[in-house]
Amino acid sequence: MLKKWMMLALLVGVAFTAGGAMAHQKQERVRIAERRKAVSLKREAGWNKLKRNLNTEIRSFNGQAGVVVEDLRTGRVLVHQPSRPFPAASVIKVPMMTACFQAATEGKLDLNSTVVVRPADKVSGSGVLKAMPGRREVRVSKLIDWMITQSDNTATNVLMSRLGMNYYNRHFQQMGLSGTRLARPMMDFSQRKKGVENTTTAQDMARVLRKLYRVEGVSPQTSRAGLDLLRRQHLHDRIPALLPEGVPVAHKTGLERGVCHDAGIIFTRKGDLLICVLTQRKGKGTSQPAKRFIARLAQHVYRYAEQAP
């Protein structure tokens, strides 16, 4: 009889213990759900604040702007005139880079081969090749490097001639860049005066960068190589200008008369953000207002990321 009572007491104790554990688990699930909800609400508030700040900056900008901002962690996107075409300037060198990588996989471009750069090939504007005397043999991979890191116009034109504009434009279409077109060499002002212009859009530039970031480019190896080149881009007067020193940014600038761009990815401790800003202003004024505008947008984006829970 005593054994029966002991067994009954044991069963009752086990039942109470199990019930207590289940109640504790339920309370823990509730607490987790509440914390997640609080984090979600805080993130939503931060995103809405970023949206307001960007809209205020855009309304104050004296010119046209195409903007795409994406939180690469959550997939949230803010846009302003994302499909508006702009003169591409040097940001078109990013999809040109991916086209070169594509041509290499197809056997149409040997990255280890050399190209003779003649004095007649050299053009003005940014770059290191224009200052090198005489003829020079340059490896194709180095031309691609200089096209991105130094924004070298001569290297870009040599690569353009190597594959032909039709090849690049077909590659742009294959990538889904509906608003991007290569129509003339870099620094060909005679063609520009006739209205012949290279064009792109903020959403196209965002698409290229997104593919590189997600390793969805030509190959995983070339995606990583492309991002590395963009990290080593030497101009820092736009997206990185107002960010804390040392914040990694993979980006490409573009600058011509009346046109000022920057498109890139900001890498932060709490998540990475994509930002593409294309601008165009009338007149012969300085590019400083556009550069400051791009820098302020990037600063708002960075603060959003750092303040996120």
Decide if 7 is inside a domain: no
First-last CA distance in the chain: 61
- 8 pLDDT exceeds 60? no
Supply the pLDDT for residue 217.
Answer: 83
Decide if 35 is inside a domain: no
Cα→Cα distances 239→60, 165, 169, 243, 275, Å: 18, 29, 27, 8, 8
When divided into structural domains, the chain yields a total of 1
pLDDT, greater one: 263 or 24:
263
Decide if 24 is inside a domain: no
- Closest residue by Cα to residue 239 from 217, 254, 224: 254
What one-character DSSP code corresponds to residue 91?
G
Decide if 221 is inside a domain: yes
- 43 pLDDT exceeds 80? no
Contact 88, 198 (CB under 8 A): yes
Which CATH number do you get for residue 297? 3.40.710.10
Decide if 261 is inside a domain: yes
Name the pLDDT band for 215 (thresholds 50, 70, 90).
Answer: very high
Whole-number Å distance between alpha carbons of 38 and 241: 33
Decide if 37 is inside a domain: no
**Side-chain-facing half-sphere of 221: CA atoms under 13 Å:** 4
Q: What is the DSSP string of 245-298?
A: TT--EEEEEEEETTEEEEEEEEEETTEEEEEEEEEE--SS--SHHHHHHHHHHH
Q: Where are the alpha helices (DSSP H) in 79-152?
A: 93-105, 140-149
Give the count of beta carbons closer than 10 Å to the beta carbon of residue 174. Answer: 10
> What length does the chain have?
309
Decide if 240 is inside a domain: yes
Q: pLDDT per residue over 128-164, tens digit each?
A: 999 999 999 999 999 999 999 999 999 999 999 999 9
Decide if 279 is inside a domain: yes
**Structural domain that includes position 172:** 52-307
